[in-house]
Amino acid sequence: MATLSMIDSNSHMDKLTSEIFSILENKFLFGYDNNNNNNNVTSPTKDQVSVPIDEMKFHKHVSGKVRVLSIDGGGATDGVLAAMSIVHLESSLRRSSGIPDARISDFFDVVTGSGIGGVLAALLFTKGKDGEPLFTADDALRFVVENGCKMSRFCKPGVFRRILGNPPKSGKVFSKTFGDLSLKDTVKAVLIPCYDLTTGAPFVFSRADAVEMEGCDFKMSDVCAATTAVNGPVETVSVDRRTKISAVTGELAMNNPTAMAITHILNNKQEFPFCNTVDDLLVVSLGNGEPSCGVAGNQTPSRAALLKIVGETVSDTVDQAISMAFGQSRASNYGRIQGNKGFVDSGNLNKGKETNMLKLAEQMLRQKNVESVLFQGKKCNKTNLDKLEFFATEIVKETERRKLNILPTVVLRQTTTSSSPRTSSATTLSITSSN
């Protein structure tokens, strides 16, 4: 009974707080009708607001839209398509904003990535000693081109490594790149999934959890090794050694992690207090190229080919479902970049793997962008490059709107030097309005 009483009391307090906040907000923005006996907020008139009625839509998002970057796991281009998309996106953002040295992390509040996409997220959103992200978009593209095969689920390990059972070479690359940097050292909210064989369920490495609970902070090198664990499970341990998981690639858990990111944002009211629906989001989702199954006639696909087809099919289904969820706002609030290897002119590709992948990705970016809507099929729009340019402009507009915002869009939890566990995130919140 005491528990029920407490819940009931908290419910009343929440309703009271919400009503008080609503009254104060509307009084501050539009004025409040003190003569209204029902204590209902009146609709603002032309005399009560400082902007024309036709601009009232702006006030629907007085705290701004949460900007999300989602990156798929490896597809037809082993991460090169997503990396090249980011290069073009960063270039467009710099051009639109007039900031020549801007980074991709300056314009997004949340990044999520699976597999190779998770590595890209880590490279672009983990800060170095100077406080800036470790890699620019160009640096990240070079990293993926040079190391992509080591992180691909379809790159076969060498004979000696298969016999001796040595750990994947990518682990050494990650250790050299990130050192002792952990999830707490990321500049924005980061979400990177893997599949935990211990629990038989997906596991998400999250900056929010790392800041809140010591047992959820992992080294970024371990996070990347876990989400790209393609040659068997990788034993992954938190920084404080309290949490242990047996990780395999995040591409198996969620090759397209966009839905996970949206769910996290809509349910994380501490960091995104005013984000309630997809209308409060601005999402750019980057695919890595739909595969051509490469199976002739009635030939049965190999296990690797089937796994690839399943992963990309799930990604496409997630894209269609999310597109439908955005409804009429999908044209402005949700952008999906995806190429189709089946429509690439392979005759113009060189034999060298690196050049091959780069040219393949470039062709995919110049393809017509395909918009998928569940149960309504697909339709071709402008090219992928045109769509990247459009969303870069929208993201910069959102960034500029925030300069006039009354309320913060993002309330990032800040790290502390204390080793004692937190009793409540509310005791250590520090408001940070993303620029």
Q: How do the residues of the chain divide into helix, strand and coil, expressed in percent and rounded to 5?
A: 50, 15, 35
CA distance 329 to 339: 23
Taking CA atoms, 161 is separated from 94, 131, 173, 192, in Å, by: 44, 38, 16, 27
Distance between CA atoms of residues 86 and 90, nearest Å? 6
Task: Considering the candidates 92, 114, 182, 221, report the single residue annotated as catalytic.
Answer: 114
Helix residue ranges per DSSP H, 63-214: 80-97, 116-125, 137-151, 159-164, 170-178, 207-212
Contact at 8 Å (CB) between 66 and 110?
A: yes
Residue 20: CA count within 13 A, CB half-sphere: 6
Annotated catalytic residue 5: no
CA distance 430 to 435: 15
User: Rounded to whole angstroms, how far apart are CA atoms 322 and 339?
Assistant: 18
**Separation of alpha carbons 308 and 288, rounded Å:** 12
Identity of the residue numbered 365: L
Question: Would you state the torsion angle of the CA atoms of residues 112, 255, 81, 129, taken in this order, to the nearest 10 degrees?
Answer: 30
Q: Between the CA atoms of 342, 344, 350 and 355, what dihedral angle is there, to the nearest 10 degrees? A: -90
Alpha-helix residue ranges (DSSP H) falling in 228-301: 250-254, 258-267
50: which 2 tokens? 């400082």
Q: Residue 114 and residue 227: Cα distance in Å, rounded?
A: 6
Residues 316, 171: Cα–Cα separation, whole Å = 30
Q: Minimal CA–CA distance to 413: which of 398, 424, 399? A: 424
Which residues are identified as catalytic? 114
